[in-house]
Amino acid sequence: MFSEWTATTAASTHSDSVLEHPVGGAAGIVDALVHAVQRNASVVRTSAPVDKILVEGAGDARRAVGVRLKSGEKVMAKEGVISNVSSLDFPSLFSDEAREPTAAKSADTPMCPSFMHLHLAIELTPAVRAKIPYALEANYVSVEDWSRGIASPDNVVLVSVPTVLEPGRAPDGFAVVHAYTPATEPYAAWAGLRPGTAAYDAKKAERSAVLWRAVARIFGQDVRDLAHVKLVGTPRTHERFLNRKFGSYGPMVDAAQSPLTLPLPQSTTAIHGVWSVGDSAFPGIGVPATAASAWLAANAFGDVREHAAILKNIGL
């Protein structure tokens, strides 16, 4: 998989595989989704964290009727509530008497580690370009020791240079670089550190070293002093900005397992009108899987004939 992926670029002749990149990156996808929501007379609200899912009825007749925000405001639902919070946080969305029974089970599933990230803006001066050993590619995989495996900490780094595909995403003469570890950074080492302290900054420098080494291999030089923008993300960054407990990637499940035996709940739950989507619902972690879980939930709201008409309209 890695060899096919890294051989695929906008002008690659080394592989028949195709890796599609959204124009505008991840933000382009978000903008398109927001536009689709707003176009259908709906609203996207941010900075509005949910405190509880409101449930009425008892036993098998329980039904979600809306949510209560942490501000105290109630937002009522016409058909139901779709939640994409992690399995670690899902149980807390219900009062004790309305607790969703499958939530406790999914919360017991071991969780993946977190990430280290490095975001850079590097000026490609003639002197810098002269040391780059090969023409820049859009994607790289840097492996320190293949014998250690991809799940070993400080071993595998994924690097993207999106300006290879979209030069306009940065000022002329600059390259944007994103390097990250593939969910191999343990949270425990960060749990007692407070962002902004000397101890936290020292840990960032220590744990980001493998990222800097990976970027140096690509550019043929240490780029620390060449970067105009240097941002280091940690498990604490993931925890805060993605609102994910422990900054985890998601439930740790064996991809070799049969889909029918994965310890993940389906999109539907025991409470009518509550759907669970995201990496903590079937089929699990990763962008394709989390998107599929959302499709399953969305299809539950729509008529089959309407769904077929939409597929026909987009050429599927």
The contacts of residue 76 (CB under 8 Å, 6+ apart) are: 54, 65, 66
Class of domain 112-247: alpha beta
The pLDDT of residue 7 is: 56
The pLDDT of residue 138 is: 92
Q: What's the rounded Cα separation, in Å, for the pair 72 and 264?
A: 31
**pLDDT tens, N- to C-terminus, the chain (316 residues):** 555 555 554 444 455 666 778 888 889 999 999 999 999 889 999 999 999 999 998 888 889 999 999 999 999 999 889 998 888 888 889 887 666 655 555 556 788 899 999 999 999 999 999 999 999 999 999 999 999 988 899 999 999 999 999 999 899 999 999 999 999 999 999 998 999 999 999 999 999 999 999 999 999 999 999 999 999 999 999 999 888 889 888 888 766 665 555 666 677 788 888 988 988 888 888 888 888 888 888 887 777 788 888 888 888 7
The pLDDT of residue 101 is: 58
The pLDDT of residue 237 is: 95
The pLDDT of residue 10 is: 46
The pLDDT of residue 144 is: 94
The pLDDT of residue 256 is: 64
The contacts of residue 255 (CB under 8 Å, 6+ apart) are: none
Domain limits, the chain: 1-40, 45-110+268-313, 112-247
**Euclidean distance between the first and the last CA atom of the chain, given in angstroms as a whole number:** 26
